[in-house]
């Protein structure tokens, strides 16, 4: 779909005014709105101790829905999400831990994952590699190195990117292997956990700084901890100066947002998961298509039956998501 | 410019005359006539009978519309007809008449997408500039957003349309089809108070109604005076479940599904306006729920009344005239009809936002 998906930029500014009265034990102090989805709101806050950061997913009652139906849906969805997460943890997958929840009040507290989304990292990468290719000459990071060295370095960096894609393929493969389909597998719902702490840029370029949505996790966290008020996200330019992209690719792949996840072993559901992921990657950059193939190659080796899913993916691709409407 | 619009994709035959005085002025509705084929309770409308109805009424209705509008044949610039989607036989009747008139009067011909007709009419009446559109009727259930000269489908039904679900449930309960089944179900629902559990089928931005209809039909078999006392469906409190309760439960469940997928689409594209079009859009409970949701998101909901949201000729004339203004016409040899015509197949050349 060619419609703008930059809901981060658009909704973040409006969400800051959109704070519901939260159920106990949460208060508005130490609270940062990350995003407003259709289902509910996602906050960053603390849980149990002031030093335990967490993600709070709050599903406020929907005034348009019959109260009985509303309770039923909130309970079913909240429990489904929590159960899937717990199952994933038990199987050793990298997903946020469930810290607590209450289906009557509609909240679920999850472990805070420090890192960046794959979408963000890819954006930085595409920007960086694209810039070098366009210049066709060594840039600041390579100094006076010869053309050959630049090529070699570029190759090495690309290899890191390929390695990240293999990790993505493995992670999704493992998820499907244990009988879970994510339901909304986009690059924004895949994170790379920060293994080491990176310093924020000392001189963020002010002109490009603007608030964003859920992508901003690590910067937002830093900002919140330093008490800097509304979270600011340094643009790709600023970030690539402070964080070498190579560093961004280190760390485990963590899948987040299991709000639409289902427990299923059907090839169709798995293939649709992959199709959504493929479209998310190709939407980021045309070059990402090759990268995605690598992820799928690794996916095909992760579990028995994965090859069958890949065959099904070819069918799903042909069909698209939409059939010709009757009537 | 003046257009004659002929609509007959389902059981409504609509004839409309509209004038677009100039691009910056609002359109003027000259005539908007409709005649509906109503089938007996417990039955639906079938293509053959519906086509016969349209054949019987179309000439009379066109004559009456032109008379009412007070226009001369020379004043008409283009004849617009519904190309699809819809039932084949009724569509053919209307297209045949459109072709005949175009040859007889030497007018341009234009085949219009029925769904785009609904969207454009809704936009013109409500002045909603760029809303998320929920198009709900007996044959269609779609969540639509405009982007780059297309009305793109974000979510839709995986099986039957919502109106079809309501109509068929009305048939099960032997609720009359006059004026239309959805209206009568709405009146029943107003008197219902117990929410009976029905399946809730939302998948991402898509919905499914066939399973809900099957479940509701099963429940309906346990309701009513003809069922033995001990076999009748009761609530947890031991109250007897009524037909009214079932209508209420069906409406609450399926409308909640619609509002949910619409809200998801709004969150996705960051839109604050929502416009409901199509026959089911005349349901006041759906309009109320949609407005509540939009308000919660800091936006607003738009809807039209039954003159414009139920199938009519004006919307075909209006959308046709918009397209005609971009110098598009349908040559005679291409003036066919199609039962399947996707909303996003139409190039929306008249919008440049």
pLDDT, tens digit only, all 327 positions of chain A: 333 333 333 333 333 345 567 777 787 777 888 887 778 889 999 888 888 899 999 999 999 999 999 999 999 999 999 999 999 999 999 999 999 999 999 999 999 999 999 988 888 877 776 655 544 444 444 445 567 777 887 788 788 889 999 999 999 999 999 999 998 898 889 999 987 544 444 443 433 433 333 433 444 444 444 444 443 333 333 333 345 656 778 889 999 999 889 999 999 999 989 988 988 888 777 777 888 999 999 999 999 999 999 999 988 887 654 444 433
**Average pLDDT of chain B?**
95
CB-based burial label for B237 (10 Å; 0-12, 13-18, 19+): exposed
Locate the chain B residue with the closest alpha carbon to A259: B204
> B288 contacts in A (CB within 8 Å)?
64
Distance between CA atoms of B97 and A83, rounded to whole angstroms? 60
Closest partner residue to B156 (CB to CB) among A2, A6, A325 is A325
Distance between CA atoms of B106 and B218, rounded to whole angstroms? 55
Distance between CA atoms of B290 and B278, rounded to whole angstroms? 14
Nearest CA-CA partner of A42 in A61, A62, A24, A22: A22
Give the range among A289-293, B122-126, B141-145, B326-330 with minimum mean pLDDT. Answer: A289-293
Cross-chain Cβ contact A66/B161 below 8 Å: no
On whether B167 is known to bind a ligand per the annotation, the reply is yes
Q: What is the tens place of the pLDDT at every residue in B312-335?
A: 999 999 999 999 999 999 999 999
On whether B159 is known to bind a ligand per the annotation, the reply is no
End-to-end CA distance of chain B: 23
Distance between CA atoms of B32 and B163, rounded to whole angstroms? 23
On whether B283 is known to bind a ligand per the annotation, the reply is yes
Helix (H, G, I), strand (E, B) or coil at B52: helix
On whether B182 is known to bind a ligand per the annotation, the reply is yes
Asked if residues B98 and B14 have their Cβ atoms less than 8 Å apart, the reply is no
A294-297, Cβ contacts within 8 angstroms, sequence gap of 24 or more:
A294/A162, A294/A165, A294/A166, A294/A169, A295/A165, A295/A166, A295/A168, A295/A169, A295/A172, A296/A169, A297/A169
B328: left (phi > 0), else alpha (psi -120 to 50), else beta? beta
Q: What's the confidence (pLDDT) of residue A20?
A: 66
Nearest-CA distance B266 → chain A (Å): 8
Asked if residues B44 and B87 have their Cβ atoms less than 8 Å apart, the reply is no
Residue B351 reports pLDDT greater than 90: yes
Interface probe for A, chosen from B113, B167, B245, B296 (most Cβ of A below 10 Å), is: B296
Whether omega before B85 lies within 30 degrees of 0, making that bond cis, reads yes
Mean pLDDT of the B113-129 span: 95
Distance between CA atoms of B50 and B143, rounded to whole angstroms? 28
> A183 contacts in B (CB within 8 Å)?
204
On whether B138 is known to bind a ligand per the annotation, the reply is yes
Cross-chain Cβ contact A68/B195 below 8 Å: yes
Distance between CA atoms of A314 and A312, rounded to whole angstroms? 5
Closest partner residue to A325 (CB to CB) among B85, B263, B290 is B85
Q: Are strands B202-203 and B78-84 parallel, antiparallel or unpaired?
A: unpaired
Q: What's the confidence (pLDDT) of residue A158?
A: 80
Cross-chain Cβ contact B267/A7 below 8 Å: yes
Nearest-CA distance B105 → chain A (Å): 31
Nearest CA-CA partner of A205 in A249, A242, A244, A246: A242
The Cα-based distances of B5 to B62, B176, B316, B320 in angstroms read: 10, 29, 5, 8
Helix (H, G, I), strand (E, B) or coil at B4: strand
Distance between CA atoms of A208 and A210, rounded to whole angstroms? 6
Distance between CA atoms of A25 and A285, rounded to whole angstroms? 43
Annotated active-site residue A184? The verdict is yes
Contacts of A288 (CB under 8 A, 6+ apart): A122, A126, A281, A282
Cross-chain Cβ contact B340/A325 below 8 Å: yes
Locate the chain A residue with the closest alpha carbon to B193: A66
Q: What's the confidence (pLDDT) of residue A208?
A: 40
> A10 contacts in B (CB within 8 Å)?
270
Interface probe for A, chosen from B152, B251, B268 (most Cβ of A below 10 Å), is: B268
Q: What's the confidence (pLDDT) of residue A228?
A: 45
Q: Which listed residue (A184, A237, A267, A315) is catalytic?
A: A184
Quote the ipTM score: 0.89
pLDDT band at B204 (very low <50, low <70, confident <90, very high): confident
Cross-chain Cβ contact A2/B152 below 8 Å: yes
Closest partner residue to B340 (CB to CB) among A10, A36, A324 is A324
Locate the chain A residue with the closest alpha carbon to B204: A260
CB-based burial label for A192 (10 Å; 0-12, 13-18, 19+): buried
Which residues partner with B147 through β-bridges?
B150
What one-character DSSP code corresponds to residue B157? B
What one-character DSSP code corresponds to residue B169? H
Nearest-CA distance A14 → chain B (Å): 9
On whether B352 is known to bind a ligand per the annotation, the reply is no
Interface of A with B (CB under 8 A): 1-7, 10-11, 14, 18, 36-38, 62-66, 68-69, 72-73, 183-184, 260, 322, 324-327
CB-based burial label for A272 (10 Å; 0-12, 13-18, 19+): buried
Asked if residues B11 and B86 have their Cβ atoms less than 8 Å apart, the reply is no
Q: Which domains does chain A have, with CATH numbers?
A: 9-124+150-319 (1.10.510.10)
Report percent pLDDT > 70 for chain B. 100
Cross-chain Cβ contact B145/A3 below 8 Å: yes
Distance between CA atoms of A129 and A154, rounded to whole angstroms? 8
Cross-chain Cβ contact B268/A68 below 8 Å: no
> B147 contacts in A (CB within 8 Å)?
2-4
Q: What's the confidence (pLDDT) of residue A243?
A: 54
Distance between CA atoms of B265 and B144, rounded to whole angstroms? 8
Q: How many CB pairs under 8 A join A and B?
A: 94
On whether B139 is known to bind a ligand per the annotation, the reply is yes
Nearest-CA distance B182 → chain A (Å): 18
The dihedrals phi and psi of B333, each to the nearest 5 degrees, come to: -70, -15
> B268 contacts in A (CB within 8 Å)?
3, 5, 7, 38
């Amino acid at each position: 779909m060619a419609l703008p998906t930059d809901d981060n930029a658009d909704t973040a500014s409006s969400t800051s005014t959109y704070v519901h009265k939260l159920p106990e034990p949460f208060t508005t102090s130490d609270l940062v709105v990350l995003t407003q989805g259709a289902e509910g709101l996602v906050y960053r806050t603390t849980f149990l101790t002031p030093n335990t950061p967490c993600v709070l997913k709050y599903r406020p009652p929907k005034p348009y829905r019959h109260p009985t139906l509303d309770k039923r849906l909130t309970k079913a969805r909240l429990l489904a999400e929590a159960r899937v997460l717990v199952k994933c943890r038990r199987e050793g997958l990298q997903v946020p831990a469930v810290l607590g929840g209450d289906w009557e009040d509609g909240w679920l507290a999850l472990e805070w994952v420090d890192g960046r989304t794959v979408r963000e990292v890819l954006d930085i990468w595409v920007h960086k590699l694209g810039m070098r290719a366009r210049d066709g000459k060594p840039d600041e990071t390579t100094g006076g190195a010869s053309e050959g060295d630049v090529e070699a370095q570029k190759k090495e960096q690309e290899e890191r990117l390929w390695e990240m894609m293999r990790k993505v393929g493995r992670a999704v493969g493992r998820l499907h292997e244990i009988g879970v389909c994510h339901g909304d597998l986009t690059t924004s719902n895949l994170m790379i956990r920060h293994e080491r702490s990176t310093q924020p840029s000392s001189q963020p370029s002010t002109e490009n700084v603007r608030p964003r949505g859920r992508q901003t996790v690590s910067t937002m966290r830093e900002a919140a901890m330093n008490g800097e008020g509304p979270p600011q996200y340094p643009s790709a330019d600023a970030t690539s100066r402070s964080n070498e992209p190579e560093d961004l690719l280190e760390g485990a792949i963590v899948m987040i947002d299991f709000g639409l996840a289902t427990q299923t072993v059907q090839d169709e559901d798995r293939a649709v998961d992959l199709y959504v992921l493929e479209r998310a990657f190709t939407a980021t950059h045309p070059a990402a298509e090759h990268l995605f193939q690598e992820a799928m190659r690794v996916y095909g080796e992760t579990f028995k039956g994965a090859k069958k899913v890949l065959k099904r993916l070819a069918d799903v691709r042909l069909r698209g998501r939409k059939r010709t409407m009757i009537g | 410019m003046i257009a004659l619009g002929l609509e007959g994709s389902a059981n409504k035959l609509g004839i409309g005359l509209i004038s677009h005085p100039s691009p910056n002025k609002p359109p003027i509705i000259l005539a908007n006539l409709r005649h509906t084929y109503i089938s007996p309770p417990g039955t639906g409308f079938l293509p053959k009978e519906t086509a016969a109805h349209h054949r019987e009424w179309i000439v009379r209705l066109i004559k009456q519309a032109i008379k009412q509008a007070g226009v001369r044949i020379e004043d008409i610039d283009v004849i617009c007809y519904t190309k699809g989607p819809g039932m084949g036989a009724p569509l053919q009747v209307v297209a045949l008449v459109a072709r005949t008139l175009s040859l007889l009067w030497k007018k341009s011909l234009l085949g219009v997408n029925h769904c785009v007709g609904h969207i454009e009419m809704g936009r013109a009446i409500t002045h909603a500039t760029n809303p998320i559109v929920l198009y709900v009727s007996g044959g269609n259930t779609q969540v639509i957003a405009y982007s780059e000269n297309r009305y793109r489908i974000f979510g839709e039904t995986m099986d039957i349309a919502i109106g079809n679900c309501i109509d068929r449930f009305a048939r099960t309960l032997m609720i009359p089809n006059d004026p239309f089944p959805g209206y009568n179900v709405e009146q029943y629902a107003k008197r219902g108070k117990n929410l009976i559990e029905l399946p809730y089928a939302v998948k991402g931005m898509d919905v499914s109604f066939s399973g809900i209809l099957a479940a509701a039909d099963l429940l309906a078999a346990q309701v009513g005076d003809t069922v033995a006392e001990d076999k009748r469906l009761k609530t947890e409190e031991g109250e007897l479940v009524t037909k009214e309760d079932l209508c209420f439960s069906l409406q609450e469940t399926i409308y909640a599904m619609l509002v949910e997928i619409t809200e998801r689409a709004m969150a996705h594209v960051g839109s604050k306006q929502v416009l409901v079009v199509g026959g089911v859009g005349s349901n006041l409970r759906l309009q109320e729920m949609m407005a509540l949701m939009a308000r919660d998101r800091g936006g607003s909901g738009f809807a039209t009344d039954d003159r414009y949201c139920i199938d009519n000729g004006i919307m075909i004339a209006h959308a046709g005239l918009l397209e005609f203004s971009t110098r598009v016409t349908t040559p005679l040899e291409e003036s066919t009809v199609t039962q399947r015509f996707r909303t996003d197949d139409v190039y929306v050349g008249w919008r440049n936002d």
